Amino acid sequence: MLHDWYGKSSNLDVAVEWFDGFECADFVAALDRVSAAHRARLEAGRQIYVYLESPCNPHGYVLDAPAICEAAHRRGLTTILDSTVATPVLQRLLQDSDPARRPDFLIHSFTKDITGSGATTAGVVIGRNERMFIPKGESAAATGPDGNRRVYKWDETLFWNVYYVKGAFLDADKAFEVLNGARTLEQRVLGKCVNTIVLAQLLSRHPEINVHCNAAPGNRNAKLRERLLYLGLPAPLFTIDFEAGASGPGRVGRAQLKKLFDRLEPAFGLQVSLGQNNSVVLCPALTSHSELSDEALREAGIAPTTIRISVGSEDPRTLLAHLIKGAELAIEPDCPGFLRGFPQPSEIDAVYRQVYADVHRRYVESRPSFDALLA
């Protein structure tokens, strides 16, 4: 859809290019490649816009967004960051002391964690005044993220390019839902982070379950998560699969997956959305990423047996218990011994208590003193 709608000369005639990787070096290499491939269009006056999603759907992996923004700004490029999965609690790039390391536009979906209920359809784009709105016919001089002064024209602002066409303001009911949900956002996200760590650690101990989560032991994205997200906590989104690999023989196939998936309700909701109060699951290859080719799915780390888990606020042990009972009915008859791979109940209780206490201790220690609140 992206290539068809954006790319066709009969539509928007906008080239869409992708880059893979987490680090700034990955981005710079891709930017050099794209700049060379589209040199003629750039010389004719076209511009490159950098659109990032971090943490990413479906694995919850984190990009080095501050460094990528800085590299893009050095070349005079506009950066846009979708931080929906992180929420404003976990990722606080607009508070970076260096403007060059901040995105020009920050996007959040209010429909997800900020309201939490999924009962409203709303979102927000945040940017500096001179990028958001200038009165018609006027211009404004400002310092750009690259540190250079420049003049922004009214017809370059987001209001006249997007909002004026699509609508800029929420109705009263949607605004109420957003404000009401935002009041409890921090506590809800904290609980979800605890649950994500517990689930990732315990599921990783099963020899036939591959866990793709930067809270899992030894995960390659863990260092960026620890450095860039609040208290080093993971976003409440990750995937598992049952493919063959170093961790197991891959005995669970599509047939067993389908039976298991049908048995995950009611503990898990079967929804395409994410960021709800309850935990929801989907199979990306059949839903959110169904437009990708088999090769693109493999490059994105999505297998036929991949399940995306958007972690909710429940007791994670309840979720694990339901998953184990579902596997007993759906997987164990065809794959004898599968249930033995799950940790023992006492081990599950111990991990839950340890993670819960550790995260809340670090959170309490990070809070301002009462004197500071009164100042």
CATH number at residue 252: 3.90.1150.10
212 and 331 within one domain: yes
Among 147, 181, 215, the domain boundary falls at 181
Continuous H helices in the chain: 2, 24-37, 39-43, 65-74, 87-90, 129-132, 158, 164-166, 172-182, 185-204, 222-228, 254-262, 294-299, 316-330, 345-366, 370-374
204 and 231 within one domain: yes
Domain count, the chain: 2
pTM > 0.85: yes or no: yes
285 and 219 within one domain: yes
353 and 274 within one domain: yes
Q: Any long-range contacts for 299-302 (C-beta under 8 Å, 24+ apart)?
A: 299/20, 301/59, 301/212, 301/239, 302/58, 302/239
Contact 224, 187 (CB under 8 A): no
191 and 111 within one domain: no
- Give exposure, 347-369, as e/b (b: 16+ Cβ within 10 Å): ebeebbeebbeebeeebeeeeee
Separation of alpha carbons 363 and 233, rounded Å: 10
Contact 47, 297 (CB under 8 A): no
255 and 280 within one domain: yes
Tokens standing for residue 363: 């959170």
225 and 167 within one domain: no
Q: Residue 338: inside a domain, yes or no?
A: yes
Tokens standing for residue 5: 């709608």
Among 181, 201, 217, the domain boundary falls at 181
Separation of alpha carbons 87 and 84, rounded Å: 5
Q: Residue 199: inside a domain, yes or no?
A: yes
160 and 212 within one domain: no
Range of the domain at 354: 185-370
158 and 13 within one domain: yes
221 and 137 within one domain: no
β-strand pairing of 269-270 with 237-241: unpaired
172 and 54 within one domain: yes
Please report, in tens digits, the pLDDT of each residue of the chain (375 residues total): 666 677 777 777 888 898 989 999 999 999 999 999 999 999 999 999 999 999 999 999 999 999 999 999 999 999 999 999 999 999 999 999 999 999 999 999 999 999 988 888 899 999 999 999 999 999 999 988 788 899 999 998 988 887 666 666 788 999 999 999 999 999 999 999 999 999 999 999 999 999 999 999 999 999 999 999 999 999 999 999 999 875 667 899 888 998 999 999 999 999 888 999 999 999 988 777 777 777 888 887 888 899 999 999 999 999 999 999 999 999 999 999 999 999 999 999 999 999 999 999 999 999 999 999 998
54 and 202 within one domain: no
Q: Residue 375: inside a domain, yes or no?
A: no
Contact 55, 334 (CB under 8 A): no
CATH number, domain containing residue 113: 3.40.640.10
